[in-house]
Structure 1
Amino acid sequence: MNYSWTNTESLLIHLIAGLAGTSKQTAVIIYLTLNTTRARVDLVDRLAKSGAASGELRDRITGLTGRIRKHQSLRNHYSHSIYSFDAETGATRTITMRIADRKNALKMGRSDDVDAEALTRIRQTIEALKLLNHEIWTLVLEEGYPV
């Protein structure tokens, strides 16, 4: 899933270049300067909404970025967890690497099973990212954005 995610997220470079009217090299610098997916997606949305794209193209781009956001939480869960493996049963669990400050305590280490249902969600996300990747490439090529 991480490979599919990273491969698809990197296509934002071409959208940034096209929407900002800049070179791919400059778009790479902008992309790398923004160190979160959220910041990169927000930039693409804002460029599309700023008048850099027609209404139809704007809606198409914001639809794509909305789909990226939809899958972001699952990707974040698996990318920002540590894993526990039961030696006897082979069961796998994720342990979230997040600390939540409460009034008088800390809450940390929420744990979830990596079961058949979780694997199905991961497979569905990979398939969705594959389709999203194809649609972004199609848009980039149709619009003549820098590649």
Structure 2
Amino acid sequence: MNAASPDTAAMAQQDVLDDVLQRVGRLNYTWTNTESLLIHLIAGLARVEKDVAVVIFLTLSTTRARVDLVQRLAKMAGTAEDVRDDILALTGRLTREGALRNKYNHCIYSFDPEEGRLQTIMMRIQDRRKDIRVGKTEPLTEGQAANIDESIARLQQLNIDIWDLVRRHDFPV
């Protein structure tokens, strides 16, 4: 049996990278589309017009700040208990999906020079008690590709569920 030529191996790795980047792009699209629905939650909870909620949403520059605002508004007196509980559950789901999205958006993709496998290099400092670590690498496997697909599906369902809440409670659209 003949080994694959270097050109064939490089093309196969490029195909794997293209597949991963397409998945990550779809994850980002789905994430951004779903995160933008926080605008309607802000409008409904703060009892403001959607245009005002858009300005508030865009003024907050991180997902964490936007989710914190929505959760705090939901916890205020005057918010019905069922609305509060539903919103906290929805924002909790969004936050959990954020970990995977952040992982693939804050890394470098490279090929392992020894084995030729595609891997991620995390662009994050890990503070330890007595030292720091940088550049944690992980091979990119089929299982991780499936994790991205599963996250996209969960975000799509979350999107539907947020729209359902917005409509049920007559929040501004």
Aligned to 2:103: 77
Which of 151, 157, 161 aligns to 1:125? It is 151
Which of 111, 124, 128 aligns to 2:137? It is 111
1:62 corresponds to 2:80 = no
Quote how far apart the aligned CAs of 1:91 are.
Answer: 2.8
Aligned to 2:56: 30
Give, as a single letter, the amino acid of the residue that structure 1 aligns with 2:154.
A
After superposition, the C-alpha distances for 1:99-128 in whole angstroms (9 at most, x for unaligned) are 235577542111112111101111111110
Segments of structure 2 that go 5 or more residues without pairing to the other structure are: 1-26
Quote how far apart the aligned CAs of 1:82 are.
Answer: 1.2
Quote how far apart the aligned CAs of 1:77 are.
Answer: 0.4
Quote how far apart the aligned CAs of 1:86 are.
Answer: 5.1
Segments of structure 1 that go 5 or more residues without pairing to the other structure are: none
After superposition, the C-alpha distances for 1:48-95 in whole angstroms (9 at most, x for unaligned) are 110242001110110101111111111110111111135897632111
Mapped to 1, the partners of 2:122 and 2:47 lie a distance apart of 40
After superposition, the C-alpha distances for 1:9-38 in whole angstroms (9 at most, x for unaligned) are 010011001100111111111111111111
Q: TM-score, normalised by structure 2?
A: 0.78
Question: Contact 1:48–1:62 at 8 Å: present in 2 too?
Answer: yes
Mapped to 1, the partners of 2:160 and 2:31 lie a distance apart of 13
Mapped to 2, the partners of 1:79 and 1:12 lie a distance apart of 21
Which protein has the larger Cα radius of gyration, Structure 1 or Structure 2? 2
Quote how far apart the aligned CAs of 1:8 are.
Answer: 0.5
How many percent identity over aligned positions? 52
Say which is worse superposed, 39-48 or 95-104, in terms of deviation.
95-104
Mapped to 1, the partners of 2:114 and 2:126 lie a distance apart of 31
Q: Secondary structure at the match of 1:18?
A: helix
Aligned to 2:171: 145
Mapped to 1, the partners of 2:56 and 2:43 lie a distance apart of 9
Mapped to 2, the partners of 1:128 and 1:145 lie a distance apart of 23
Q: Secondary structure at the match of 1:146?
A: coil
Mapped to 1, the partners of 2:114 and 2:131 lie a distance apart of 33
